[in-house]
Amino acid sequence: MEVYLDNSATTMVTEGVRDKMIKVLEEDFGNPSSMHMLGVRAENYIKDGAKEFAHILKVDPKEIVFTSGGTESNNLAIIGSVMANKRRGNHIITSKIEHPSVHEPFAYLEDNGFDVSYVSVDGKGKIVKEELYGMVREDTLLVSIMYVNNEIGAVQDIEEIIQELKKIKNDLIIHVDGVQAFGKYRIYPKRLGIDLLSISGHKIHGPKGTGVLYVNSKTRINPIVFGGGHQRGLRSGTENVPGIAGIGQAAVELYTDFDEKMDRMYQLKQHFIKEISKLEGVSFNGLTIKNDHNGEVFDMEVIKETAPHIISVSFEGVRSEVLLHALEDRGIYVSAGSACSSHSPKPSTTLAAIRLPKELMESTLRFSISDSTTREEIDYTINVINELLPMLRRYKRK
């Protein structure tokens, strides 16, 4: 049996997404900038995709920019808006648990003379609000905060935070990395006060290499890619028409029967946590579990404090990569919560920010489900962990 529980890393495209992309690739393959009918047909996919995202976000289609993914969306949002508005201020703020595609643009801007502040989080990964509010200055230009943390599933109180920030300084530019939140929450940028919102296609059962950036029509932003002036000059380059068709289809599918999908995911998450918590030396990052004296009943309200799809678990006494590969041998695919790999040799900044002890940081796995994950797959994973954990702990590194 194969069980894929790494959906925060990437998701499988749906049949609907695949079929739509194949149609574009084989039949409607024209350049959307061409004036002939094949070009017009290709351009219509771009217009339709913008309308689909605009409908879901309750914004204007002209405020939708298609990108190559969450990383480009974050870079364009942060660097583009800061450079376009730099005369208004030199101070920018973000948190200590952001994705590298946010941290690195901030580091780049800091190297180029901007003053950067990094707000702390508490033990559950929630931003320390009073610290954030106290950071805002007269020259503060931009605040960038992720909606859902990609490692532990911590959910920020976006609406409350933005309302308070705008009370303090009403012309702040607010960027939200919504890569792990879109498709898990209903997000309405205009109601929430979000000026820039980043979305990634391959996190929502769309194709890799696709993304969206919502740009409020009142927000000034400079391009970071130059060329033919595509997408109203914000993102030059011939549009990825099959990808745009695919990400639009994925978004529509995901928000169909949305509440039922999220309820089912939360039930699977609750079940997994309930069963895994029965094991000794196990702790969950990002939430505080409330259970009865028998360890059998868990409050769904507590479970819902975090995102429906992410479960971060520390298994005391077993290194994450050891358990990860042991699970892989049994057909179960997960991520190491400490994000240690050949691409990222440093420990997780998120787990460090929530002050997780080093030994637990090195023993953390992330399980991430999707709306297609089954109860059978979760039960199989639970049984395999129950079997493997005692055996692997016998070989604990001295």
Which residues are the active-site residues? 340
* 120 closest CA partner among 139, 104, 133, 137: 133
What are φ and ψ of residue 356, in 5° steps? -75, 135
Beta 196-200 vs 211-215: how paired, if at all?
A: antiparallel
DSSP 298-332: B-HHHHTTB-TTEEEEEETTS-HHHHHHHHHHTTE
Locus of tokens 């941290």: 103
Can you point out the beta strands (E) in the chain? 3-4, 64-67, 91-95, 115-119, 140-146, 173-177, 196-200, 211-215, 282-285, 310-315, 332-333, 335-336, 364-368
The residues, ordered by sequence, that sit 6+ positions from 354 with a Cβ below 8 Å of its Cβ are 97, 121, 122, 123, 124, 125, 152, 285, 286
Structure-token pair, residue 278: 């029965």
Residue 198, beta-bridge partner list: 177, 213
Structure-token pair, residue 51: 């309308």
User: Rounded to an integer, what is the distance from CA 318 to the centroid of its chain?
Assistant: 27
Contact 114/84 with Cβ under 8 angstroms?
no
CA distances from 284 to 202, 255, 265, 398 (A): 26, 28, 17, 24
